[in-house]
Structure 1
Amino acid sequence: MEVDEAAGPSGGAHAAITPASPAAAEASSASLASVVLAPSGTTGSVSIALHPLVIMNISEHWTRTKAQAGGPQTVFGALIGQQRGREIELMNSFELAHHRLDGRDVIDREYYALKESQFKQVFSDMDFLGWYSTGEAPGPAEIDIQRQICEINESPLFLQLHPAARHTDLPVAIYESVVDLVGGQARLLFVPLTYSLQTEEAERIGLDHVARISGAVDDGHSQVDEHVMVQHSAIKMLASRVQVILRYVREVHAGALPFNHDVMREAKALADRLPVLESARFQPEFYTQCNDAALLTYLGTIMKSCNHLNQFIKKFNVLYQRQGGHGRRLRGMFF
């Protein structure tokens, strides 16, 4: 509002109130529209457990899209996992298709329905819990996507990965949405959530192999190798002790050694603690564990071969440039 003072016919002053300019109103509306985070006093209502597989999937999605498009692009995807009360576990993810319409990103619902039916066939115990994107901080565009995802899940989570982050902390932020009053209007706002990392044995082994390949120096050893060697030594020692007990029992049975009731009772107790190998549960679990171990071995071999091939491509390109060749250069597998 503006107040103007002017002298009247009697020499007094009077005040004239004029409405604010349209530019000021537009600036105020724009400032309200840019508010996407809830006040700092707002706390989250759920606890999050994040698996590294989700971060690896998002990183691979963004890297592949960047290589195909020739520059950084914003990517979108869905988060799946399990929810038990207020505890949410984000375990996996898949990509979402989108297109631009009137200057805004629109999620392809048909593509989502197709992907949902596919992952339900494989991960029947997981549910759709939210979506992910890449960027430095959430803005009005993310609020618009959140409204679209709310049509699928009434309270979806939003995970944002910042690929260009330079700090040492994990560049991942997770939000939930709340409805709050901003400037007298109901607005959808993001509330930051705290999360913890939760890994399984297969994820730890895969991450260790990735870290070895990513390192500049590969000495052929890793924490997984050391852990396996410790387990191998323990099993070898256990086998030797079992052989000692077995020999003692055989000698007692043959009459070469006197019968000791205390020792035989302890041997019988140890034998009762061993798993029953002829049970109906042993064979399926044993073969499943063997298949998992073989799959992880194959995965490590493939990753090592990809690393060697990538190093060969880099060296070939350097040599090709030194020779002054002109033409199409080989492209690496990782960008």
Structure 2
Amino acid sequence: MLQAPTDAKCSDYAPLPSPVMTGSGTSGSVAVKLHPLVIMNISDHWTRLRAQNGKPLPVFGALIGKQVGRTIELLNSFELLYLEINDEILIDTDYYYAKEEQFKQVFKDLDFHGWYTTGGSPTELDMKIHKQICDIIESPIFLKLNPQAASTDLPLNVYESVIDVTDGNAVSRLVTLNYTLATEEAERIGVDHVARVSNVDSNSVSYASEHLSSQHSSISMLYTRVRLLRDYTEAVRKGELPRDNEILRLLNALCKRLPVLGAESLTSDLHNQYNDVTLMTYLGVMSKGSQTMNQFISKFNILLDRQNAGRRLRGLFI
């Protein structure tokens, strides 16, 4: 977990005077790798609230990821609940801890590293919220996205809090962190889909849309032809069409070539595959248990040998 430049928490210092940013000579202590999923989650969160309320509203959420050395990789995020009392924002910490516990059950290797919001440059209100987050984690990462920015660049900045001394008082200020975008295969597919399909002025489609469209067309064609054969057999059975034995023989041969869900062979193959997967899982568990037991026995033997050697030495000098 990140440590502040001093032993004290950033929430322990005096109220922040304006401005909230440090001087240009101060640099961040960590590097940040930002995944597109985090940006998409924040954008979706802000867009939903705007559609529901009819006006843009600030949003708040938690950032989770991994830390290796001085590099933080932000992989995911989730929304936070808050109360607005007398123009003051109070984060619901009980909701955060409940949500964090749920995420830990699925993503055990991800930790809480900071929070996000929307808007322009950081303000004193952001710093007050930042101090609330400091009660959960020391020196959290702060990400701010501006959805209404007119710039063609990515309209977000990442900050961390540092301790600055002004007029003999130690205060918490923000310093801008450098970040890089890190993507995985699934994220690249999702970003390509959003970039192509969401652009109303473009006729291009994403690779995922092309793949899904081809599958939909194949299933639709199969459904149309099967329905045609069914309607034909119904019409022959009701006497609406003449009976053609050649067509019926072809239909019978075609039906026999299709697998039936209730067939014994299909059920047997399914059970065999399920048993194979279960056996592989049990084998992995047993192998891991055997390895752990082997390590335990090796350490126990080393300690036992040291104890016996000590007894022999004491016997020689008594």
How high is the TM-score relative to the length of structure 1? Answer: 0.57
| Structure with bigger RCO (C-alpha 8 Å, 6+ apart) | 2
Distance 1:88 1:183 in 2: 33
- CA-based RMSD of the aligned residues comes to 2.4
Distance 1:145 1:178 in 2: 15
Which residue type is aligned with residue 186 of structure 2? A
Which residue type is aligned with residue 156 of structure 1? P
What SS class does the counterpart of residue 138 from structure 1 fall into? Answer: coil
Name 2:32's counterpart in structure 1.
48
How many angstroms does 1:38 deviate by? 0.8
Distance 1:48 1:193 in 2: 7
Task: Say whether the 8 Å CA contact 2:164–2:170 is kept in structure 1.
Answer: yes
Q: How does 1:91-130 map to 2 (within 5 A)?
A: 91-130=75-114
Name 1:71's counterpart in structure 2.
55
Name 2:290's counterpart in structure 1.
none
1:132 to 116, 129, 132: 116
How many angstroms does 1:101 deviate by? 2.3
Distance 1:164 1:209 in 2: 22
Q: Which runs of 4+ in 1 moved over 2 A?
A: 215-226
Q: How does 1:26-37 map to 2 (within 5 A)?
A: 33-37=17-21
Task: Say whether the 8 Å CA contact 1:50–1:89 is kept in structure 2.
Answer: yes
Distance 1:107 1:65 in 2: 17
2:202 to 212, 217, 220: 217
Name 1:201's counterpart in structure 2.
185
Distance 1:98 1:181 in 2: 31
Name 1:7's counterpart in structure 2.
none
Task: Say whether the 8 Å CA contact 1:48–1:87 is kept in structure 2.
Answer: yes
Task: Say whether the 8 Å CA contact 1:205–1:224 is kept in structure 2.
Answer: no
2:144 to 134, 155, 160: 160
| Structure 1 unmatched runs, 5+ | 1-29, 227-278, 285-335
2:158 to 166, 171, 174: 174
Name 2:271's counterpart in structure 1.
none
Q: Does 1:62 align with 2:73?
A: no
Distance 2:83 2:61 in 1: 13
Q: Does 1:189 align with 2:191?
A: no
Distance 2:205 2:88 in 1: 49
How many angstroms does 1:188 deviate by? 0.7
Distance 2:174 2:204 in 1: 45
Which residue type is aligned with residue 39 of structure 1? G
Distance 1:125 1:158 in 2: 21
Give the count of matched residue pairs: 201
* Identical columns (%): 54
Task: Say whether the 8 Å CA contact 2:192–2:206 is kept in structure 1.
Answer: no
Distance 1:174 1:156 in 2: 11
1:22-73 deviation digits (Å, cap 9, x = unpaired):
xxxxxxxx9x722100111000000100000000000000010111111010
Which residue type is aligned with residue 184 of structure 2? E
| Structure 2 unmatched runs, 5+ | 1-14, 212-275, 282-318
Which residue type is aligned with residue 143 of structure 1? M
How high is the TM-score relative to the length of structure 2? Answer: 0.59
How many angstroms does 1:102 deviate by? 3.3
Task: Say whether the 8 Å CA contact 1:212–1:222 is kept in structure 2.
Answer: no
